[in-house]
């Protein structure tokens, strides 16, 4: 049913349930699991002034390294379960990069973790998972994690 499954990760605590779900789905459908981490460019690029450039380049490098390590850990777990993997680290706005990758890689199903936060929290801060689910042209499974599981 699905040849390629995407698991975007943000390294947040409690993401284990989404990882387990994605690996299980990849095993069930004999699909390749793509693990994606997006270095959030909005987190460090919205500050004006040259005095911040050096600090944010260091932050960007640290975020990228942490993302590579997180992706590598997930890939190791998937390969232990005999799931073929592809690992990707990108820079940009997370929901936009996830949606773009879904199209580029021909992803059939995206599995994304989301914290079970209140409607007010989501309204004020938004949710990458919600944006992906609402904008994707392919199926998206959101795996909820209770806030107290973090």
The Cα angle at residue 13 between residues 99 and 71, in degrees rounded to 5: 50
Helices (H), 2-147: 16-29, 42-45, 53-80, 94-105, 119-125, 128-135
Query: What pTM, to 2 d.p., does this model score?
Result: 0.84
pLDDT at residue 121 in the model:
43
88-124 pLDDT per residue, tens: 999 999 999 999 999 999 999 999 998 765 554 444 4
Query: Which CATH class, in words, describes the domain spanning 4-149?
Result: alpha beta
Which residue ranges make up each domain of the chain? 4-149
pLDDT at residue 83 in the model:
98
Give the three-class secondary structure for 110: strand
Smallest CA-to-CA distance from 73 within 2, 19, 133 is with 19
Q: Rounded CA gap, 129 and 90, in Å?
A: 17
The answer to whether 97 touches 67, Cβ cutoff 8 Å, is no
Helices (H), 81-117: 94-105
Average pLDDT, the chain: 85
């Amino acid at each position: 049913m699905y040849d390629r499954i995407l698991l975007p990760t943000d390294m947040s605590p409690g993401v284990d349930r989404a990882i387990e779900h994605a690996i299980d789905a990849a095993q069930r459908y004999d699909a390749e699991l793509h693990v994606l981490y997006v270095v959030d460019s909005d987190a460090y690029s919205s500050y004006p002034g040259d005095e911040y450039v050096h600090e944010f380049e260091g932050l960007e490098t640290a975020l990228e390294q942490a993302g590579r390590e997180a992706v590598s850990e997930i890939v190791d777990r998937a390969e232990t379960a005999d799931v073929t993997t592809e690992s990707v680290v990108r820079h940009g706005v997370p929901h936009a990069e996830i949606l773009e990758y879904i199209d580029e890689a021909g992803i059939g199903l995206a599995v994304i973790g989301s914290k079970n936060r209140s409607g007010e929290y989501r309204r004020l801060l938004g949710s990458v998972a919600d944006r992906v689910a609402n904008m994707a042209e392919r199926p998206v499974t959101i795996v909820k994690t209770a806030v107290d599981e973090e």
